[in-house]
Homo-oligomer: A and B are copies of this chain.
Amino acid sequence: MAVDLKPKNAQELLAIEGVDLFVGQAGVKKANHNDVTLLVLRPETQVAGVFTQNRFCAAPVRVCQELLPSSDIRALVVNTGNANAGTGADGLMRARAVCQAVASHVGCAEKQVLPFSTGVILEPLPYEKIAAVIPNVQPVHWDVAAAAIMTTDTVAKSGSRQIDIDGVSIKITGMSKGSGMIHPNMATMLGFVATDAAIAKEVLQVLVKEVADETFNCISVDGDTSTNDSFIIMATGTSALPVITATEGAAYEAIKAALLDLSLELAQAIVRDGEGATKFITVDVQHAKTKAEARLVADAIARSPLVKTAFFASDPNLGRLLCAVGYAGIEDLDVSQVQMWLGDVLVAEKGGRATSYVEEAGAAVMQQSDITVTVDLARGDASGKMYTCDFSYDYVKINAEYRS
C-alpha cells in the first residue's frame, strides 16, 4: 500500500568510507530472516542523535542517551523483533549485554557501542541469541541493511546525496524504518545517516536536532510517539574537507542542506509506507506568528481522524479541515482572515467556503495520491509543515489484528 515508494537498489546508494555494514540472523522473532544489523565506524567518527520524548523510553534509548554525543563510538547494533521497552532494569542489563558482545567482536569497549531495538514491547530481549550471531554477521551494502532494520515496513527506506563543498566531494547515505510513529506493538521509527564529512561533535549535536526538527519531527501516521524513536547522524571525517567546527558558514549550511534533503526523504518514506496509507499529505501552514503556532495548526490537521478518513474517501470535506484549524489552540485566531487551499484550489476564506470554490475542483485534487493542504493564517511570517497519510480500513485491520 506504500504511496509512491520504491526500495533503492545497491547502485543508487553511496558507500561512506569509515562505515562498514553487516547483517545476521539471530531468530529473535522469526527464523531465516536478517534481524541484526551492525554498523562499524572508524575511530574518531563523530556521532550525535535525538531520541523519543516518551517517558517509557526503551532500554537501548537510555543507553544511547548516556553515551551521545560522542567522538568515541565504534559501532551501532540494531535488532528487530523485540523493542526492549517497558522492561525496567533487566532490559538495561540485556541491552548492555548485546553491546558487550559487539565490543568483543569489534575490539572496543562496551561504552563505544550504541544499541537500537525495534519490535514487540514488554517482552524480555533474547540477548543471548543476538550475542551469539554477532561473530557471524556478514558484510553488506546499505540496501541490505535498510531491509534488515524493517519490521512491518513494506518497503526498505534509504537514500544518498553527493554534494561539493569547496571543491571536495562529500557523500551522505542514510536509511530509516517505521510504518507508524509507533508501530502496532512493534514500536519505532529509526533513522541512521552517515557522511564522510568531518564535523565537530558539538556542531553535529546542533545539526542533528536542527535536521530532526524539520524532518523526522514533522511526520505523523497516527499521532502516537513510540518508546524507541531514534535518529542518528554519523560523520566519519574520511573526506578531504576540513572539519566543520561552527554552526554557521558556507560549509555548515551546505552539509545541513544536504542532510535535511536526505533526511526529509527518509522521514517522508515512513509516512508513504504508513500503515494502510493510500495518500501522502503535506500540511503547509503559512503566515503564523511563530513556528510553534504553525506546527500547532499543522499537527491538528495531520492528527485528525476525521480529516484522515476524508482523504481516504477522496472526499473534499472542507468542514473537517476548518474545524481542525479552529481547535488547534490559537486562542485569538481571527477566522475571517484564514485562507485554505487544497492543492492549488482556494477552498476557504472569510470564515467560510471560498465564493469561487466548486466541489468538482476540490474532488479532482482529492483523487491524487500526493496532496498538499495549505493554510494561510495571516498573522505573521512563520511557517511550518507536517507530513501525514490518510486513515483507511487497513489501518484498523493492521492494528486490530497485529497480535492475533
Contact = CB atoms under 8 A, between A and B. Distances in A.
Contact of A306 (B89, B353, B399): B399
A305 B56 contact: no
Interface string A109-150: 000000000001110000000000000000000000000000
A215 interface: no
Interface string A193-236: 00000000000000000000000000000111111000000000
Given A187-B319, A352-B122, A305 B305 contact: yes
Interface string A87-115: 11111000000000000000000000000
Given A320-B185, A327-B53, A86 B351 contact: yes
15 contacts: A53-B327, A55-B326, A56-B335, A88-B352, A122-B352, A182-B320, A222-B304, A223-B303, A224-B305, A224-B327, A225-B323, A225-B327, A227-B323, A306-B399, A391-B396
Given A312-B400, A319-B121, A350-B88, A325 B224 contact: no
Nearest to A228: B323
A216 B227 CA distance: 31
A324 interface: yes
A222 B319 contact: no
Contacts of A336: 88
Contacts of A326: 54-57, 225, 227
A395 interface: yes
Interface string A303-317: 111100110110101
B309 A396 contact: yes
B399 A310 contact: yes
Size category of the binding interface on chain A: 35 or more
A322 interface: yes
Given A319-B120, A319-B121, A400-B315, A184 B56 contact: no
Contacts of A317: 184-185, 402-403
A326 B55 CA distance: 4
Nearest to A394: B396
Interface in A337-354: 348, 350-353
A321 to B, nearest CB: 10
Contacts of A86: 318-319, 322-323, 348, 351-353
A85 interface: yes
A70 interface: no
Interface string A32-72: 00000000000000000000111111000000000000000
